[in-house]
Amino acid sequence: MKKTTRIIRPKELAEMLGVTTVTLWNWRQQNKIPQPISFGTKFIGWKESAIEAWLSEKENNG
């Protein structure tokens, strides 16, 4: 059985991290978070696995 890749949208990611979407965009511009995947001009998101890996790295490296 093939595992599907879940895509986290900006609003959901901001809620997960406890920040506003404006902060999320600032972090994106400053390369503080992984870059999202673009599915067109109005649809971007992050692979759940990429966010989990990034959070683990932050947890381990402070």
Q: State the residue range of the domain holding 51.
A: 8-61
31 lies in some domain: yes
pTM to 2 decimal places: 0.83
2 lies in some domain: no
43 lies in some domain: yes
Q: Per the structure, how many domains does the chain have?
A: 1
What is the structure's pLDDT at 1?
62
* Blockwise average pLDDT, block size 10, the chain, 62 residues: 84 97 96 93 93 92 72
What is the structure's pLDDT at 62?
64
Per-residue pLDDT tens over the stretch 19-32: 999 999 999 999 99
Q: Which residues have a Cβ under 8 Å from the Cβ of 7 and sit 6 or more positions away?
A: 37, 45, 46, 47, 48
Mean pLDDT of all residues belonging to the chain: 92
Could you tell me the end-to-end alpha-carbon distance of the chain, in angstroms, rounded to an integer?
36
